[in-house]
């Protein structure tokens, strides 16, 4: 049986497009499970994209870029932690500040340093990540049904894609099967219980934010050094918020959040292919309507399901010892 080329390209695109969402959602999971709201995924992703592309260009290797992006995002997460955890500031405001700051600073520095109106220089091939062909992909491609699935949908992706899908079960394991994860979840539900057990609540939250920083850096680096060859302004285009919606939809659990990310990825992949294509009975849908689909879908999802999704109990509230 033949799988149509359309389905193959759609499936492959879905995996590719949902990858940054998966990293971002997992990043958000760690922060939010520990009780810290993270609306700042968008700004951090953007910062990572800028730093990764600039770093790769200046230091001659995409791995340097990735490394710098990790440093940068961890720093931003620490800043968010400092404002919200240590200084008990409003967590949403802190996130909004970081987002706006990063939108401005990334483009401003890109323009100032590289002079191209907010683009970083296009990365040469040796400074980019590339698609990986899995072993035996060519040999197997002839096998009916499974062959194309392996050689064209699963094989041929950037390393980030594979990392993302390995990441999810790892996150599950860490959060639900280790003592670190137990403490993480406890801090997000009842920080007093953790405090009276002699574990530092603030330290725990900072650790969660550090993990958050590392993971979101991957999302941003992927955008500018893998799928694209440079950074351009506001390139995250709302992915940070979509990832958050996926996390909420997935009730802060890794497996269900992953499914939500795939759903968004699928919608986005679909949207590109529908542009200019007449649909039966409707004719050509204006391109802007199709572009708006992920955002509308997010609203619909939030409207339908958040009422039942219960966030970690202590989320958003700074921990203050009661008198």
Partner 1 sequence: MVKAVDKTKVPWWVSNAIVPLVNLTLAFIVSGFFIFVAGENPYQALKLIIYGSFGYLEGFGYTLYYATNFIFTGLAFAIAFHCRLFNIGGEGQAYIGGLGVFLLAFYFSALPVPIVWLLAILASMLFGAAWAIIPGYLQAYRGSHVVITTIMFNFIASALMVFLLVDVIRDRRQMGPTTEALVKEQWLPMFKNIAAFFGFKVGYSPLNISFLLAIIVSFGVWFLIWRTKWGYEMRAVGHNTQAAIYAGISPKKNIILAMVISGALAGMLGVNEVLGVHHKILVNFPAGYGFTGIAVALMGRNHPIGIFLASLLFGMLYQGGSEVTFDMPNITRYMFVAVQGVIILFSGALENLFRPQIEHFFVNIMKRKVTT
Partner 2 sequence: MVSQPILELQNINKSFGHVQANKDISLKVIKGDIHGIIGENGAGKSTLMSIVYGFYQADSGNIKINDKIIKIKSPHESILSGIGMVHQHFMLVENFTVIENIILGFEGELVFGEKLSRAKENLMKLCEDYNLKIDLNATISDLSVGFRQRVEILKALYRGAEILILDEPTGVLTPQEVDELFKILRSLKEQGKTIILITHKLNEIMILTDKVTVMRQGEIVGDKNTKDTTKDQLAEMMVGRSVLLRIDKKKPNIGETVFEVKNINVKDNLDVMRVKNVSFNLRKGEILGIAGVTGNGQTELLEALTGICQVDSGEIKLYGNTISSKKVFAGPRQLREQDVAHVPEDRQRMGLVTEFNASENLIFGYHHQQPFSKSSVMMGKNIFNHSKKVMRDYDVRPQSPFLLTSNFSGGNQQKIILSRELNKDPKVLLVGQPTRGVDIGAIEFIHQRIIDMRDKGAAVLLVSVELDEILSLADRIVVMFDGELVGERVNENVTDREIGLLMAGITN
Give the tokens for residue 270: 């679909």
Least distance to partner 1, CB of residue 115, Å? 8
For tokens 């500031």, what's the residue? 89
CA distance 273 to 78: 40
Rounded to 10 degrees, the C-alpha dihedral 241/228/44/171 comes to 70
Nearer to partner 2, 128 or 183 (CB): 183
Choose from partner 1, partner 2, none: what does 111 bind? Cβ within 5-8 Å by kind.
partner 1
Residues in CB range of 44: below 8 A, 6 or more apart: 27, 73, 76, 77, 98, 102, 213, 216, 217, 220, 240
CA distance 72 to 123: 20
Choose from partner 1, partner 2, none: what does 193 bind? Cβ within 5-8 Å by kind.
partner 2
Choose from partner 2, partner 1, none: what does 9 bind? Cβ within 5-8 Å by kind.
none
Nearer to partner 1, 35 or 148 (CB): 35
Give the tokens for residue 204: 């725990």
Least distance to partner 2, CB of residue 175, Å? 12
> 174 with 180: CB under 8 angstroms?
yes
CA distance 146 to 151: 9
Residues that bind partner 2 (CB under 8 A): 177-180, 182-183, 185-186, 189-190, 192-200, 313, 321, 323
Give the tokens for residue 86: 């240590």
Least distance to partner 2, CB of residue 317, Å? 14
Choose from partner 2, partner 1, none: what does 178 bind? Cβ within 5-8 Å by kind.
partner 2
For tokens 């949207």, what's the residue? 271
Nearer to partner 1, 226 or 269 (CB): 269
Nearer to partner 1, 160 or 264 (CB): 264
Choose from partner 1, partner 2, none: what does 90 bind? Cβ within 5-8 Å by kind.
partner 1
Residues that bind partner 1 (CB under 8 A): 39, 82-84, 87-94, 96-109, 111-113, 117-118, 233, 238, 241, 244-245, 248, 286, 288-289, 291-292, 295-296, 298-299, 302-304, 306-307
Least distance to partner 2, CB of residue 82, Å? 21
C-alpha dist (Å) from residue 191 to 20, 81, 142, 181 = 31, 16, 56, 14
Choose from partner 2, partner 1, none: what does 321 bind? Cβ within 5-8 Å by kind.
partner 2
Nearer to partner 2, 15 or 194 (CB): 194
Closest CA to 314 of 134, 191, 218: 191
Least distance to partner 2, CB of residue 72, Å? 29
Choose from partner 2, partner 1, none: what does 112 bind? Cβ within 5-8 Å by kind.
partner 1
> 72 with 220: CB under 8 angstroms?
no
Give the tokens for residue 103: 């939108």
Residues in CB range of 37: below 8 A, 6 or more apart: 31, 84, 91, 92, 95, 315, 316
CA distance 132 to 143: 20
Least distance to partner 1, CB of residue 84, Å? 7
Choose from partner 2, partner 1, none: what does 292 bind? Cβ within 5-8 Å by kind.
partner 1
Nearer to partner 1, 93 or 145 (CB): 93
Least distance to partner 2, CB of residue 36, Å? 17
Nearer to partner 2, 4 or 321 (CB): 321
Residues in CB range of 9: below 8 A, 6 or more apart: 273
């Amino acid at each position: 049986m033949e799988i149509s080329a359309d389905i193959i390209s759609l499936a492959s695109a879905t995996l590719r497009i949902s990858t940054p969402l998966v990293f971002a959602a997992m990043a958000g999971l760690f922060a939010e499970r520990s009780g810290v709201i993270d609306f700042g995924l968008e700004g951090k992703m953007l910062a990572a994209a800028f730093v990764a592309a600039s770093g790769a260009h200046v230091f001659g290797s995409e791995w340097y870029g990735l490394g710098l992006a990790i440093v940068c995002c961890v720093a931003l997460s620490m800043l968010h932690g400092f404002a919200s955890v240590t200084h008990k500031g409003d967590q949403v405001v802190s996130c909004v500040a970081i987002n706006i700051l990063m939108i401005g600073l990334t483009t401003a520095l890109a323009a100032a340093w590289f002079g191209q109106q907010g683009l970083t220089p296009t990365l040469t091939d040796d400074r980019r990540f590339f698609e990986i062909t899995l072993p035996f992909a060519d040999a197997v491609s002839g096998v009916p049904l499974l062959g194309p699935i392996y050689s064209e949908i699963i094989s041929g992706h950037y390393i980030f894609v594979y990392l993302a899908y390995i990441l999810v079960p790892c996150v599950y394991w860490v959060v639900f099967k280790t003592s670190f994860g137990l403490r993480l979840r406890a801090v997000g539900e009842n920080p007093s219980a953790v405090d009276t057990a002699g574990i530092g609540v603030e330290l725990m939250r900072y650790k969660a934010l550090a993990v958050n920083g590392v993971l979101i850096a991957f999302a941003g680096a992927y955008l500018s050094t893998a799928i694209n060859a440079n950074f351009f302004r506001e390139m995250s285009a709302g992915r940070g918020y979509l990832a958050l919606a996926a996390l909420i939809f997935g009730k802060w659990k890794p497996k269900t959040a992953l499914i939500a990310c795939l759903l968004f990825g699928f919608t986005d992949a679909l949207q590109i292919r529908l542009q200019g294509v007449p649909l039966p009975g409707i004719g050509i849908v204006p391109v802007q309507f199709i572009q708006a689909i992920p955002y509308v879908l997010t609203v619909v999802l939030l409207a339908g399901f958040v009422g039942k999704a219960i966030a970690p109990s202590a989320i958003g509230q700074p921990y203050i010892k009661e008198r």
